[in-house]
């Protein structure tokens, strides 16, 4: 039975941002319906099973545990009510070639010893670097990223202006790292986390050294059972708050009256709406569901956005245990410097790609049958590329040959399950703009108020959340984005209709 006095909120898309927004709105007293086109919630963090293997389809790194904890605590819960976390040690390893690997230890004394072994004096520099990065994390994560970024006036607090200067917003990550470290492997290590942000170190504000603090001080974690356990927890939480979640229902159009959405039409029905929150692809919602006069941005605007990379992913089941691999493995056997730019600036497939291998079965026996391994291989590539089976197979052979050569074992002939995923799949499953995997690159000119706005400029009751708006790409930012948009809706639309009694 619908409560006619409560505002009806329709959330489109059950990714991290959509789930966070829906749960937050329901907790505040709104009547919330969450519509998801796919049969599984989670957006890019969906899951599938095949031949006894369980594969997380997208995100595989659990960083910034405090962001997840703070989210659940808003509802009087804790992450451990929904899933069990293990801290990984080593956090990950980097493979440079046969018998040439470097493990990143979880403990700070061991990490400092590793730095010192490569570059004398760098342990003290690491301490200084991370102290500054901790400050950026504190201000950036607890203050800046929770701002809706709808106006520059939000940042006109004197303390915040001082902070912005201390946060190195106007210096590049490339210069910042090289002020502290000279050894190429240490530079690689410090620049690696910003691969997730989708821009070159030269174009990424040094503010994002906060990612190094997240990586090295807060640690790399893993929810037992897989990353989808977070999604399952968020779905359970949303339902506890009263959210109605409808899977397998794609939104096909909206009805507008006087600049306001009144109804959301899906493949299976129509839903009245007082407020709509778009947690699906921003570009798709704007250009496919809204008439031209109701769109905030022009086609030229979208064409000139700098996109984060897409990905070519292989999900592999292997019929034996593998040696020499950790849970997270970065293959930097090709020169990181000259070829890194290809995934951002070249509208072509890279010649010598870096790649990443996740082997969660190293930590979690539940994701693979006994005696077997679960591999997730990701190659970061430019968005908007011609994606064919022939190209996928070429890169499969390329990375598998390198994997076998570097780890010194046969893998290919032991693969008993194989599935690939790239641009065409991102577009089909998520309507991803240009087949992107991570959203917009976090360049200085695409930060805060310079991102697509979380509030439509033309439609009074339409808001946006997720990786194409503030604060940006990644799982913790998406989780924050859902909470930020919910707070903005609450400012403009009270949960209850107010009725006058005479």
Q: How confident is the chain (502 residues) per 10-residue block, as mean pLDDT?
A: 80 98 98 98 98 98 97 98 98 97 98 98 98 92 85 65 73 95 96 80 90 97 98 98 98 97 97 98 98 97 93 98 98 72 72 94 98 97 95 98 98 98 98 95 87 97 96 93 97 75 35
State whether 320 and 425 are in the same domain: yes
Query: What are the backbone angles phi and psi of residue 272, rounded to the nearest 5°?
Result: -70, 145
DSSP sequence for 347-380: SS--SS--EEEE-GGGT-GGGS-TT-EEEEEEEE
**How far is 454 from 20, CA to CA, in rounded Å?**
15
C-alpha triplet 39, 45, 47: angle, nearest 5°: 55
Q: Decide if 152 is inside a domain.
A: yes
Q: Decide if 497 is inside a domain.
A: no
Q: Which two tokens stand for residue 441?
A: 């690159």
What is the SS3 assignment for 251-269?
A: EEEEEEECCEEEEEEECCC
The domain that holds 339 is classified in CATH as 3.30.519
State whether 426 and 456 are in the same domain: no
Pairing of strands 244-247, 31-36: parallel
**How far is 61 from 329, CA to CA, in rounded Å?**
11
Q: Decide if 88 is inside a domain.
A: no
State whether 348 and 290 are in the same domain: no
Q: Residue 502: its pLDDT value, please?
A: 34
DSSP sequence for 448-501: GGGSPPSB-SS-TTEEE-STTSSS-SSHHHHHHHHHHHHHHHHHHS-SB-----
State whether 285 and 310 are in the same domain: no
Under DSSP, the state recorded for 292 is G
Phi-psi sector, 494: left (phi>0), alpha (psi -120 to 50), beta: beta
Find out whether 11 and 32 touch, Cβ atoms under 8 Å: yes
Domain boundary (218, 238, 253) is at 218
Q: Decide if 500 is inside a domain.
A: no
Strand-by-strand arrangement of the 462-464 sheet: 244-247, 31-36, 8-12, 275-278, 462-464
Domain extent, residue 416, equals 306-430
Q: How many domains does the chain have?
A: 3
State whether 297 and 361 are in the same domain: no
State whether 179 and 232 are in the same domain: no
Q: Decide if 379 is inside a domain.
A: yes
State whether 134 and 68 are in the same domain: no
What residues have CB less than 8 Å from 499, skipping those under 6 apart? 5
Q: Decide if 372 is inside a domain.
A: yes
Looking at 181-274, list the stretches that DSSP marks H as alpha helix, in order from N- to C-terminal side. Answer: 184-191, 210-213, 228-240
Q: Decide if 102 is inside a domain.
A: no
Residue recorded with tokens 């010598």:
352
Q: Decide if 99 is inside a domain.
A: no
**Residue 17 Cα to chain centre, angstroms:** 10
State whether 318 and 416 are in the same domain: yes
Find out whether 285 and 484 touch, Cβ atoms under 8 Å: no
The domain that holds 61 is classified in CATH as 3.50.50.60
Show contacts of 72-78: CB within 8 Å, 24+ apart: 72/233, 72/237, 74/24, 74/27, 74/483, 75/23, 75/27, 75/237, 75/240, 75/241, 77/237
State whether 314 and 422 are in the same domain: yes
State whether 321 and 299 are in the same domain: no
Q: Which two tokens stand for residue 478?
A: 């998406």
User: pTM of the full predicted structure?
Assistant: 0.96
Find out whether 95 and 330 touch, Cβ atoms under 8 Å: yes
The domain that holds 176 is classified in CATH as 1.10.405
Pairing of strands 221-223, 85-87: antiparallel
State whether 150 and 236 are in the same domain: no
Domain boundary (218, 249, 284) is at 218
State whether 282 and 317 are in the same domain: no
Find out whether 454 and 484 touch, Cβ atoms under 8 Å: yes
Domain boundary (407, 430, 453) is at 430
Q: Which two tokens stand for residue 373?
A: 């391994």
């Amino acid at each position: 039975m619908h409560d006619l006095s409560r505002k009806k909120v329709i959330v489109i898309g059950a990714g991290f941002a959509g789930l966070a927004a829906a749960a937050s709105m329901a907790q505040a007293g709104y009547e919330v319906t969450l519509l998801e086109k796919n049969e599984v919630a989670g957006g890019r963090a969906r899951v599938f099973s095949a031949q006894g293997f369980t594969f997380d389809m997208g995100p595989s790194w659990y960083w910034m545990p405090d962001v997840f904890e703070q989210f659940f605590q808003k509802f009087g819960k804790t992450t451990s009510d929904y899933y069990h976390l293990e801290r990984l040690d080593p956090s990950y390893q980097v493979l440079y070639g046969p018998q040439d690997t470097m493990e990143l230890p979880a403990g700070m004394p061991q990490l400092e010893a590793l730095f010192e072994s490569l570059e004398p004096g760098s342990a003290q520099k690491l301490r200084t670097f991370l102290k500054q990065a901790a400050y950026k994390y504190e201000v950036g994560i607890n203050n800046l990223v929770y701002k809706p970024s709808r106006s520059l006036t939000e940042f006109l607090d004197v303390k915040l202006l001082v902070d912005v200067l201390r946060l190195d917003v106007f210096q590049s990550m490339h210069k910042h790292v090289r002020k502290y470290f000279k050894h190429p492997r240490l530079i690689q290590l410090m620049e690696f986390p910003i691969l997730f942000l989708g821009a070159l170190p030269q174009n990424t504000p040094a503010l994002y050294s906060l990612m190094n603090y997240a990586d090295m001080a807060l640690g790399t974690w893993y929810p037992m059972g897989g990353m989808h356990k977070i999604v399952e927890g968020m779905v359970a939480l949303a339902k506890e708050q009263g959210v109605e979640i409808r899977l397998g229902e794609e939104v096909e159009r909206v009805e507008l009256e006087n600049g306001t959405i009144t109804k959301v039409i899906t493949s299976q029905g129509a839903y009245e709406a007082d407020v709509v929150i778009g947690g699906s692809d921003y570009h798709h919602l704007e250009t496919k569901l809204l008439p031209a006069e109701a769109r905030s941005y022009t086609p030229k605007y979208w064409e000139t956005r700098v996109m984060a990379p897409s990905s070519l992913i292989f999900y592999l089941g292997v019929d034996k245990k593998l040696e020499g691999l950790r849970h997270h493995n970065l293959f930097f056997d090709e020169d990181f410097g000259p070829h890194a730019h290809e995934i951002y600036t070249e509208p072509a497939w890279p010649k010598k790609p870096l790649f990443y291998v996740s082997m969660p079965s190293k930590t979690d026996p539940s994701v693979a049958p006994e005696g077997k391994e679960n591999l997730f291989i990701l190659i970061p590539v430019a968005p908007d590329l011609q994606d064919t089976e022939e190209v996928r197979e070429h890169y499969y052979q390329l990375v598998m040959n390198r994997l076998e050569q570097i780890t010194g074992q046969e893998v290919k002939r032991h693969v008993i399950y194989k599935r690939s995923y790239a641009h065409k799949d991102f577009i089909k499953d998520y309507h991803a703009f240009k087949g992107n995997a991570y959203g917009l690159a976090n360049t200085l000119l695409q930060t805060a108020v310079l991102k697509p706005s979380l509030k439509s400029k033309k439609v009074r009751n339409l808001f946006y959340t997720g990786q194409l708006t503030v604060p940006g790409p990644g799982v913790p930012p998406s989780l924050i984005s859902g909470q930020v948009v919910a707070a903005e809706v609450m400012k403009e639309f009270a949960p209850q209709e107010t009725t006058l009694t005479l």
